[in-house]
Structure 1
């Protein structure tokens, strides 16, 4: 018998049970197991990884990568030896995404195996605050108990009741991955992160895209200049964007879908993707049995240590709402594990969580926007670097985009970084590392005095820093 097995609490099957194997569940399970706890994980589907691996982050980014490379190929003069452009279909790029998913499942399954975390397949529901009933796909049931339970069940696309998602041409952001035909025209309702990413993917494949936004501009939480840049690129690609619209009803037909908006507009396309909001996966947990209740969006309330109103039950990831990011969910799981093991939490999730949006081109940001700094009356200045002026971007033929650094004009403290263009989600972390420095280390002059490899996209920081310093007087 292993040392970990010998440490089991005599009155429970495990020290801890984690419900869900997405990023939040994995983070919690790995921390607890490495801390010597006996841990089990419950996964409703056949393979680990949760929605992040199978329907969300991984497949959508894999699809985006394929389309981005296709665009790069068609725009590169080295390969323009024929008049006709190369093309791919949605079904073709799905094969690449499926391959990435398989690799991720193998990788993450290994984490659980190596750390002796037992995976139980089935649907979990509470019997009491220490006991879960697990229902397998074949209908068989059994119970498991633990001293501590972590809920990491994630979220799913919100489905308004008056939209018929059983219609073969109506999809949400999960079922779109089962699209078995190649549409020539798609309507996407919802212009948040998911809607904009899929709009990029389909438009990059040459599909006509109508993007319907309920707000007055795209991604209003982003810095205005950055979101405006995305709007321009969408418009320039031939995409139609309609702002400030509300859904009336969707009419599914044999030959397509007709969208009726409350403004009176009607739109017809081959298929329809609803991508407007998400709901926490809590309805099957029988929360009433332990005195917990989810809110109207299916989300659970937790304290600063990810503990619910029931002392031995914790929750992490999308099921607790903001920021609803895979990266943050993993950290939340790890922090919840620390709180369980130590009885308190020394660290906390960082205040400035970076945002990466995998449109074409990418967008990423960390820290304050210009609008936030202006509203707070903080005296800031702006340093900019245009990608078209960087040798690396010219070599790679990815000159669309820019880096914007916001800094305090008196102290030179970096307050926010915003990037638009290829590899933006990678580039942002260079600036984030400097922003996190203490005792005066967060200073714009770092980028002036350091030496960057040449040519690189990283040198955009030096260009932006010098540009910003030149504005001071």
Structure 2
């Protein structure tokens, strides 16, 4: 006997869960949601995307304020500490919670607060923080429980000077020196944030280059600007052990290096939140990182159980998770399912990075004849006016057909600018053509004008042949 019954039960109210719940209601399904947190929004709103990007924006504003000649005569008697910056950044979280709560209220979706675990493939129990228990049944179930920072057992995360990407948002002091272990997207973002605050940062990378999935030129630009801002980037390293005391931490690397700092931020991967779901009860297994395997319709090995968002691994982007959630509802209703494969990359370092499509290395390996069009922000009026003249827009296109094959951007507003190129890339047939940018009139001065400059630059290279 069940206390509640639904057509679709969504476990987790982050981007994937919320979008699935909304799409389900709009398509006539009875939808229920289970959320372990006492406020809506998921990790995206509370510990991931929103707070870290708000923190970055606050630091970016502070950098602009202190570097602008107009404000040099103004002196702030209070030092710019990490807690002050964090307090300013955290003001966005209640607004996000209010917004997400309104979505669920307006669509009359019941939210069961508590931790879910499977009793059967169509039934879960939900236990709240007070120990109260509900049994919820559903025809279809979506697992959208998100992820958390990966914590190896040999690192003492209980020590007050050791943090992960969740607990760093609770740090109450401002260290002078910081080790960031792990140079993935999150590690690079935090390295740029803390170096922007004036900390001496060591960024430990396990690979030969930063963010090797990026176009080489963009990766090189990121590496240069991190170093230019005082970050010590160390490639091809792995940790041996960590020693902590009351005054700081010492990280021993297998290469023999010993690095001392006031604190350590561990950013070496994430783990899917599946350990409390009792998956073995229904014969479903997660991999060693807690991730669940799905097919192109986001269906697991059990026909009526789906998974989406960070819990399925790559691309682990909030933007992709929103689309995946909607796709699950399409699959449930036997409609065409869009499997998200070509989501643009947005990396919120300082300066930020965004890209969509293929890189130069990929095109070279595939033996596709391509050319490059570039626009450097330092040569655009809008960037000169704003003072954010670091960066470039890079368009890769086919030499013969002029089809756009990749857009790569480094610099101010990169995550916004890339969508213009994305829109043209997705046009059918000959409409996907770099000539669109060369023959279109852009507002002046704008950052978007870089598309016209880059297009003319690339076409001039072709026409010289």
| TM-based fold match above 0.5 | yes
1:18 matches 2:34? no
Q: Is the 2:297–2:339 contact (alpha carbons within 8 Å) kept by the matching residues of 1? A: no
Secondary structure of the residue aligned to 1:382 is strand
**Equivalents in 1 of 2:161, 2:355: separation in Å?**
35
1:184 matches 2:202? no
Shift of the alpha carbon at 1:77?
Answer: 1.8
Q: Is the 1:12–1:147 contact (alpha carbons within 8 Å) kept by the matching residues of 2? A: no
- Equivalent of residue 361 in structure 2, options 361, 368, 371: 371
- Equivalent of residue 26 in structure 2, options 10, 23, 34: 34
Cα pair distance change 1:468/1:86, threshold 3 Å:
farther
- Give the match for residue 420 of structure 2: 430
Cα pair distance change 1:378/1:27, threshold 3 Å:
same
- Give the match for residue 206 of structure 2: 214
Secondary structure of the residue aligned to 1:127 is strand
Q: Is the 2:328–2:337 contact (alpha carbons within 8 Å) kept by the matching residues of 1? A: no
- Give the match for residue 352 of structure 1: 342
Secondary structure of the residue aligned to 2:461 is coil
Q: Deviations over 1:155-201 (max 9, x none)?
A: 11100000010101101101111101111111000000000000011
Shift of the alpha carbon at 1:347?
Answer: 3.7
- Give the match for residue 278 of structure 2: 286
Secondary structure of the residue aligned to 2:19 is helix
- Give the match for residue 199 of structure 1: 191
**Equivalents in 2 of 1:347, 1:453: separation in Å?**
37
- Give the match for residue 93 of structure 1: 85
**Equivalents in 2 of 1:12, 1:424: separation in Å?**
46
Q: Is the 1:74–1:85 contact (alpha carbons within 8 Å) kept by the matching residues of 2? A: no
Q: Is the 2:38–2:113 contact (alpha carbons within 8 Å) kept by the matching residues of 1? A: yes
Unaligned 5+ segments in structure 1 are: 1-9
Unaligned 5+ segments in structure 2 are: none
- Equivalent of residue 380 in structure 2, options 385, 390, 397: 390
Shift of the alpha carbon at 1:309?
Answer: 1.1
- Equivalent of residue 157 in structure 1, options 133, 138, 149: 149
Q: Deviations over 1:23-54 (max 9, x none)?
A: 00011100001111111111101111111111
Shift of the alpha carbon at 1:82?
Answer: 5.6
Q: Is the 2:279–2:285 contact (alpha carbons within 8 Å) kept by the matching residues of 1? A: yes
Q: Alpha carbon RMSD of aligned pairs, Å? A: 1.5
- Give the match for residue 56 of structure 1: 48
Shift of the alpha carbon at 1:55?
Answer: 0.6
Cα pair distance change 1:87/1:220, threshold 3 Å:
farther
- Equivalent of residue 297 in structure 1, options 286, 289, 296: 289
**Equivalents in 1 of 2:129, 2:171: separation in Å?**
25
Q: Deviations over 1:362-389 (max 9, x none)?
A: 0110000001001111000000000001
1:407 matches 2:397? yes
Worse overlay, 77-86 or 411-420? 77-86
Shift of the alpha carbon at 1:81?
Answer: 2.4
**Equivalents in 1 of 2:441, 2:314: separation in Å?**
37
**Equivalents in 2 of 1:115, 1:147: separation in Å?**
20
**Equivalents in 2 of 1:349, 1:454: separation in Å?**
38
Secondary structure of the residue aligned to 2:118 is strand
1:362 matches 2:352? yes
- Equivalent of residue 119 in structure 1, options 111, 114, 118: 111
- Equivalent of residue 242 in structure 2, options 250, 259, 275: 250
Cα pair distance change 1:442/1:200, threshold 3 Å:
same
Cα pair distance change 1:85/1:352, threshold 3 Å:
farther
Q: Is the 1:70–1:87 contact (alpha carbons within 8 Å) kept by the matching residues of 2? A: no
- Give the match for residue 230 of structure 1: 222
Q: Is the 1:70–1:86 contact (alpha carbons within 8 Å) kept by the matching residues of 2? A: no
Secondary structure of the residue aligned to 2:163 is strand
Shift of the alpha carbon at 1:94?
Answer: 1.3
Shift of the alpha carbon at 1:83?
Answer: 8.6
Q: Is the 1:335–1:345 contact (alpha carbons within 8 Å) kept by the matching residues of 2? A: no
TM-score normalised over the length of structure 2: 0.97
